[in-house]
Amino acid sequence: MRGLHADTGYLLYRLGLRSGQLFNTFLQESGLRLRHYAVLRFLATAEGALQRELSARLGYDPSAIVGLVDDLEKLGFAERRPAPDDRRSRIVVLTEAGGAFLRGTDEAGLRVTNELLAPLAPAERETLHALLLRVAEDGLS
């Protein structure tokens, strides 16, 4: 029988947990969680998104997206607007305050990454990132 540390999937799971814990600790003072941050980061790369698109792209349950967007609206970080091509639909867009919040998180996000990847040399970090990106993109297609 192989040990857990011989299982790559388990190691990725543990790394994801640790990453989430570190990032959630950093975000705690703002009242946000990693899921809120993911929505904001996605919106920063788009000119708005339907809630169902957020759900599909981020892999979150549609009902969870509603609550996350509600939270972000209360903070003034996102807002729902009529979709330009269908006035019955609403798109979620990042506000200026949301963009400013994200810019303020860049340094802390780098600290979290540096803490997680401290055992790796810079070239190893680049290789790991490239490999994870390749695996993640395959799962997101």
Of 131, 105, 104, nearest to 117 by C-alpha is 131
pLDDT reported for residue 23: 87
The pLDDT of residue 2 is above 70: no
42-78 residue pLDDT tens: 999 988 899 999 999 999 999 999 999 999 999 999 9
What confidence score (pLDDT) does residue 139 get? 57
The yes-or-no verdict on residue 100 having pLDDT over 70 is yes
pTM over 0.85: no
